[in-house]
Amino acid sequence: MILTALTFLVILTVLVLIHELGHFMMARWIGVRVEEFGLGLPPRIWGKKFGNTIYSLNWLPIGGFVRLAGEDDASSGQLSKIKGKLRPDQRQKLGEYFWARSKKERSVILAAGVIMNFILAVGITAALLVSGVKEPSGIVRVERIVAGSPAEKAGFQLNDTLVSIAVRDQKPMKLTTPAELIAFVNEEKGNEVTLHVVRDGQDMNITVTPRKEVPPGEGPLGVAISDLETHKYTLTEAPGKAFMINIMRAKEMLVSLGSTLWRLVTLRAPEADVAGPIGIAQVTGQAVKFGWQAVLEFASILSLNLAVLNILPIPALDGGRLAFVFLEKILGRRAHPAFEKSTHQIGMIILLGLVLLVSINDILRLVRG
């Protein structure tokens, strides 16, 4: 339990830190003053000012924030009137304010957190690919044989390669996945089948009869099979492969999220459970049991998920703020700062309410077991 809690805390802290560092570094690089860099959401536990920036820890451990000078400044609407009346040194000072930067610069600052989370996801995936990952090989092998099972009695051995299967005088079916063998055997329970096996480079045929009465946790043959092999990618192969893997995952996340939101809007229950902080912590515990690679894989997926969620045009999220910049480009003028600020505040309240509801659901699911 302690290990799970610590692992969850470390993962969450790293993901939020990377995200906010994206905003922080891009703002500093462009020249926008950062007033506060916070981990967690207010109220504040602790804060210390270094230079022009306050670095703070906050009570709600579900995110973080970077507060930029002039991000919600009501005077931003007067920018066009102000600039023409300022001396060069005053214009340079004005450039420290977020609202005084160009639409392109503001967009880059807002998108930097999402980009950092995506880069982190790709980086972790690439590291895992270099260390070695299990991938389908197209070759089905025997990984375990149950004592007293039909497979043991027929003479199967560990690491036997199962090439094809046939029944009676029918044409043999080539085996490339475990699912093909499982489906075939389930259809032929009680009937004698013949498997073409390769053992230590030698071809042989083994005849076996799948049992009709199957003990719990076993199959008709009594073997565990797999088509997975460890594949280690080179340092030059891994980044490209990792990039494509995360692009595909992002597409799947967007489709799943869109389906969930549509079902909620149409007052239907989501097809899959939606997990909040408590549910994510529970999954972290399951990943810990499988080792460090599973934890890193989970962290990569969480980082990508954070990127996908934040880019959505939802008020209070980075995508919501980007939407106002795009709206400004379309309309030719910025929305009233007070309206934009209120919109994001309402969005934050709604998001916190959703987090609370999902957390309650997580607790109820844990209680029900």
- Tens-digit pLDDT profile for residues 191-206: 999 999 999 999 999 9
Cα distance between residue 4 and residue 97, in whole Å: 42
| Domains of the chain and any CATH numbers | 2-132+238-368 (no CATH), 134-231 (2.30.42.10)
Cα distance between residue 230 and residue 193, in whole Å: 30
Pairing of strands 161-167, 173-174: antiparallel
Cα distance between residue 146 and residue 212, in whole Å: 16
Residue 89's pLDDT is 55
pLDDT above 80 (res 1)? no
Residue 175's pLDDT is 96
- Tens-digit pLDDT profile for residues 43-58: 999 999 999 899 999 9
Cα distance between residue 3 and residue 288, in whole Å: 8
**Across residues 263-288, what is the average pLDDT?**
72
pLDDT above 90 (res 226)? yes
- Tens-digit pLDDT profile for residues 284-335: 888 888 888 999 999 999 999 999 999 999 898 999 999 999 999 998 888 8
**Across residues 165-170, what is the average pLDDT?**
88
Residue 337's pLDDT is 79
**Across residues 21-36, what is the average pLDDT?**
95
Lowest mean pLDDT among 152-166, 296-310, 343-357: 343-357
CB 348 within 8 A of CB 320: no
Residue 90's pLDDT is 53
pLDDT above 60 (res 221)? yes
More reliable by pLDDT, 265 or 297: 297
- Tens-digit pLDDT profile for residues 79-130: 545 555 545 555 557 778 888 899 999 999 999 999 999 999 999 999 999 9
- Of the pLDDT bands very low, low, confident and very high (cuts 50, 70, 90), residue 283 is confident
Residue 80's pLDDT is 47
- Of the pLDDT bands very low, low, confident and very high (cuts 50, 70, 90), residue 152 is very high
CB 167 within 8 A of CB 188: yes
- Of the pLDDT bands very low, low, confident and very high (cuts 50, 70, 90), residue 271 is low
Q: How far apart are the first and last CA of the chain?
A: 17
Residue 122's pLDDT is 98
Q: Is the pTM of this model over 0.95?
A: no
CB 34 within 8 A of CB 22: no
**Across residues 141-158, what is the average pLDDT?**
95
More reliable by pLDDT, 99 or 72: 99
Lowest mean pLDDT among 46-60, 166-180, 212-226, 327-341: 327-341
pLDDT above 70 (res 181)? yes
pLDDT above 50 (res 5)? yes
Residue 112's pLDDT is 97
CA 209 vs CA 190, 197, 230: distances in Å: 6, 16, 32
Mean residue pLDDT of the chain comes to 87
